[in-house]
Amino acid sequence: MESIYDETHELFRESFRSFVEAEMVPRREEFESAGIMDREVYAAAGKHGFTGMAVPEDHGGGGTRDFRFNAIIDQELAAGATGGGGNGLSLHNDITSPYFIEYCTSEQAARWLPGIASGRLITAIAMTEPGTGSDLASIATTAVRDGDEYVVNGSKTFITNGINSDLVIVVARTDPDGGRNGMSLLIVERGMEGFERGRNLDKIGQHSADTAELFFNDVRVPVENLLGEEGRGFEYLSFNLAQERLSIGLMGLAVARSALGWTIDYVKERTAFGQPIAAFQNTKFALAEVATEIEVTQPFVDQCIIELNAGKLTPAKAAMAKLWGSELQTRVTDRCLQLFGGYGYTTEYPIGPAYVDARIATIYGGTTEIMKTIISKEVLG
């Protein structure tokens, strides 16, 4: 199949790959130990045009909504084994920035978009609550209008970029009786009184992706920080879910491809019983199966990217990309780790951290079970 990437994309790839190798790979252990990526990495990425590609040029961005550039960043982050820190950067580009680009007023755009494009304003989105999980319609965080302000109360959890973030898109209930039509999006900014960050959660993987609990205790948010219109929050969330889920799916595919590459190199060099591990039939068959799954998946993901660019990617197809890509990621990292033997269970090779980092892929952005539910609705009609 002909590549969906042209010469401009490949030049962008080379540039970003150099950035990853210079700014992120050498500091991976530092970020993993600290449980957070240095926020200056975002600024450095912004300086080189790797954040805010879709932000309009008059606000300092790249002015392109070609998601192929985002896909290249995700692919190269996976190839560089950047772990959770890379996911924080992808979230900023793929998942949160589109809300600002799409729904900001001209005043909000002038206030926030230049910082988002430069990487100086790091973004996050706060949907999940301790008691809701994937059930967004049941959120309990409230935003009560009081004059020219909303008073926000509630808590969120599992928020990626929760510590680093300067602008948090908070999903809150502005109408207690409005159901899905009673939710709105408010931008809570760093330093607002009553906005507190809980602990940086101690996760089993993706350690450098700061993931926090957030607490809102009578936080007074100016009406000017309402994103879009009141009561349309659920609708707005649906707007970007296809891109979010495709992002997770293509990252899963990219990690799987990287894992295959690491494993091929390892089994050719490592010997057992007097011959390279690559010479054993089991190794050959395992890698043949992994390679086939990856190659069969790539055209589907590429097609989804093209459809997203054209505004034609359906929720069900995005769910398929997320379902298959995330499951492929967990399956392939597990299979490849086995071929490393005991060394796969260490951090000496990237396959070990990649295996642990992969476990969240079938959970965040909507669980595997939620994806199957979405797909089944289209299948059954």
Which residues are bridge partners to 188 per DSSP?
168
Q: Say how many C-beta atoms besides its own lie within 10 A of residue 204's C-beta.
A: 9
**Could you give the CA distance from residue 280 to residue 285 in angstroms, rounded to a whole number?**
9
**Could you give the CA distance from residue 337 to residue 259 in angstroms, rounded to a whole number?**
9
C-alpha R_g of the chain: 21
Instruction: Determine whether 149 is an active site residue.
Output: no
Helix %, strand %, coil % of the chain (to 5): 60, 15, 25
**Could you give the CA distance from residue 350 to residue 1 in angstroms, rounded to a whole number?**
29
Nearest in space to 204 (alpha carbons), one of 366, 63, 360, 373: 360
SS3 string, 17-33, reads HHHHHHHHHHHHHHHHH
Q: Are strands 226-227 and 211-222 parallel, antiparallel or unpaired?
A: unpaired
Residues sharing a CB contact under 8 Å with residue 80, sequence separation 6 or more, in sequence order = 17, 20, 21, 24, 25, 86
Which residues are bridge partners to 361 per DSSP?
none
Residues sharing a CB contact under 8 Å with residue 292, sequence separation 6 or more, in sequence order = none
Which residues are bridge partners to 275 per DSSP?
272
Nearest in space to 251 (alpha carbons), one of 90, 119, 17, 127: 90
**Could you give the CA distance from residue 80 to residue 25 in angstroms, rounded to a whole number?**
6
**Could you give the CA distance from residue 200 to residue 212 in angstroms, rounded to a whole number?**
5
End-to-end CA distance of the chain: 31
Dihedral sign for Cα 162, 165, 169, 173, please.
Answer: positive
Residues sharing a CB contact under 8 Å with residue 342, sequence separation 6 or more, in sequence order = none
Task: Check 129, 244, 369, 378 and give the catalytic one.
Answer: 244
> Which residues belong to the active site?
244
